[in-house]
Structure 1
């Protein structure tokens, strides 16, 4: 049973929170605090949920501009996947080649060929593009 969306209640929330594009760190901190309050509300109304979506989008936009994340290297991706799946270098020998090749590839001393990227993609069930 979903609750009906109350435009008047939503308008009051918008007036109270006044969501806008974040232009400073203090505005960012304030927006985060507001979003956290809404997230913590276990009985959030449909209007509060709609407001929360706006706040999250504004926060994400600010973070992407001010705290960009660099793309991990293919070697770092392989290391992470191996750790997450508790794999040893020997587990990749059939995919990459010799144990020496696996070691050099994982440590970034050897480039990943297109064939290896394709094999790694199939092995990890991911796009080969991640490994190039």
Structure 2
């Protein structure tokens, strides 16, 4: 047996729940919490080994949200951000990677546009396509 497979098998009980399809709101909440933890641990950086795990968890979250929490297609970026923050129970201070609380406030009110760096970070954090923010 390959050494990597052996390590994966030894830890599969911990990993499998993060990779299995979401089938309830409770599992959805756990997936969002897992994604936040992975992103905080460096998964928002595409060169970090955790980026692949962040993508996989984000895809599961996105699939659940698409089916159970559909978002209107014509929503402005600041409203998309407000919607996602509400869905995830986040406040302005919970997005330090985007900017200060004042910057997030200006983004939410439309006084400031979401830039490409912020759009990438937000897309990764919420497991959605970057096109929602640009």
Structure 1 length-normalised TM:
0.45
Tell which structure's C-alpha radius of gyration is larger: 1
